[in-house]
Amino acid sequence: MRAATTRSSHQGGQSLIMLTLALVPMFGIMGMVTDLGYMHFVKMEAQTAAEAASKAAIVNLHATVGGALTTCSTSVVCANTITQCPTHITTPQNSIEVGCMYAAQHGFQATGNQNVTYQTGGSSLAGTSAAPPTASGINSVSYWVTYRVAQKVPQMFSSLLGFQNGMVAARSTAVVVGATDCIYALDPSADSALNVNGSAELTAQCGLYVNSSSPTALSCNGHGSSASFAYDATEYDVVGGSGCAPANLANAAANTGLAHITDPLAGLPVPASPPYTCDHTGTFNVDVGGSNPDTTQVPLSPGVYCGGINVKKGTAVFGSGQYIIVGGGIQTQNTNSHIDATAGIFIYNTFGTVGGTTYSFGGINIVANSSANMKAMTSGTYAGVLYFEDRNAPASTDTFSGGSASTYTGTLYALKSEIDLFGNPNLSSAAYTIIVANKINLTGSSQLNDDYSSLSGGNPLTTTAVVE
């Protein structure tokens, strides 16, 4: 009996030793699973912080700088190499610091066991990459920013196995890219905010966006349901509804019920702040004599025109540069009225008091039987912008017509006004035409192209996207 008892005691002791030895790796494995679970949680938090940073930075840049992404500056931060975010930001000085601040608000900043970095570039920004190196398939963009968020995570149970620390990392890239739409009617509630009259046709190599919530925001006034297309565009984005028959829309049905958008050119800066100094006072009249006014040219130089420009007889030849029109607008009269502005110009149309004289606002009225060939500049802040109407100007109607001999290469921007195209302007020969207005009305056939290859910064109308 004693021998059996001794043998049993030895077996029990061995089992206890084996159980104890087995518990060590078992606890280690359980601890590793626990630590990995916690690291996965930290990883998700880091990813959220990186995405919040990239989105906040790109949205802020787009809203404050807009399409002026042609040079590196205090506002447009260029960081071709990975750069660490500053810490404890309370008043961000630029969009990059806005992103860094958002990362901090989500629990991550460059201090202690954490690190937050950024890297930027753009297609027209010297010394940087035209495409983000971490997002494959994203080629040339106006601007991109990548935020990286990392944290060293001390291990608890896994430290028993010799793993003292783990590292989690996340990143997110956001970009400013050219918009897919080139026609924007911004009125939030108007009927026929974008309208094609009669047998008119609009052909666009890009899409259109109608911001009105009206059931007939997009309309084909008088266009028969079995007639040729009223609209031939790549897409039709409408907040409200379409009053057009399905046969009036080529390629696809309208995408209705979309969200309201804000002004896509809200970040475009005003070229100069008043008070202005008049380079020309009173209406600048182009009114030549003789029996052949069509062949007589009158040169105009860039500057401030107080009282507007009226082209009656002759050809007004605009030299390359910026034209600020204070009151009066630009008018043409008849078949003897011609505008040649193909050297590359930018027009800012405003109003106000200069030197004690008040100049009332005047819009654009290029009549159907005159001709106008106008082209925007290809570089600088206003690259691709042909006409910019003061955002505080009273609502009016701007007419860009001039018949089949007329072209408008650039962006026509009138936030509060209606833009009318009629007389079949020959937009097909313009590399690109963009229209952003309160309302848009078309009488006559027009074709809008979207070839922005001549512009240093690409499409002047941009939008933002998170690509990773």
Alpha carbon of residue 405 to chain centroid: 31
Element (H, E) at 99: helix 95-105
Instruction: Concatenate the DSSP letters of all residues of 347-408 into one string.
Output: EEEE-EEETTEEE----EEE-TTSEEEEEE-SSSTTTTEEEEE-TTSPP-EEEE--GGG-EE
Cβ atoms of 390 and 351 closer than 8 Å: yes
**pLDDT greater than 90 at residue 15:** no
- In this prediction, residue 414 has a pLDDT band, given cuts at 50, 70 and 90, of very high
Pick left, alpha or beta for residue 314 (phi over 0 → left; psi -120 to 50 → alpha; otherwise beta).
left
- In this prediction, residue 262 has a pLDDT band, given cuts at 50, 70 and 90, of confident
What mean pLDDT comes out for the span 66-82? Answer: 86
Residue 9 makes CB contacts below 8 A (sequence gap 6+) with: none
Element (H, E) at 11: helix 2-64
Instruction: Concatenate the DSSP letters of all residues of 326-349 into one string.
Output: ESS-EEE-STTEEEEEEEEEEEEE
Cβ atoms of 310 and 327 closer than 8 Å: no
Structure tokens at 159: 């430290």
108-126 pLDDT, tens digit each: 999 999 999 999 999 888 8
Structure tokens at 396: 């009016």
**pLDDT greater than 80 at residue 48:** yes
Cβ atoms of 193 and 220 closer than 8 Å: no
Residue 233 to residues 45, 180, 448, Cα–Cα distance (Å): 42, 11, 9
Cβ atoms of 241 and 318 closer than 8 Å: no
Residue 24 to residues 77, 82, 228, Cα–Cα distance (Å): 53, 43, 80
**pLDDT greater than 80 at residue 163:** no
**pLDDT greater than 90 at residue 284:** yes
**Among 403, 386, 395, which Cα is nearest to 347's?**
386
pTM, rounded to two decimals: 0.77
**pLDDT greater than 70 at residue 34:** no
**Cα-atom radius of gyration of the chain, to the nearest Å?**
31
Element (H, E) at 36: helix 2-64
CA distance 187 to 416: 8
Maximal C-alpha separation, the chain: 141
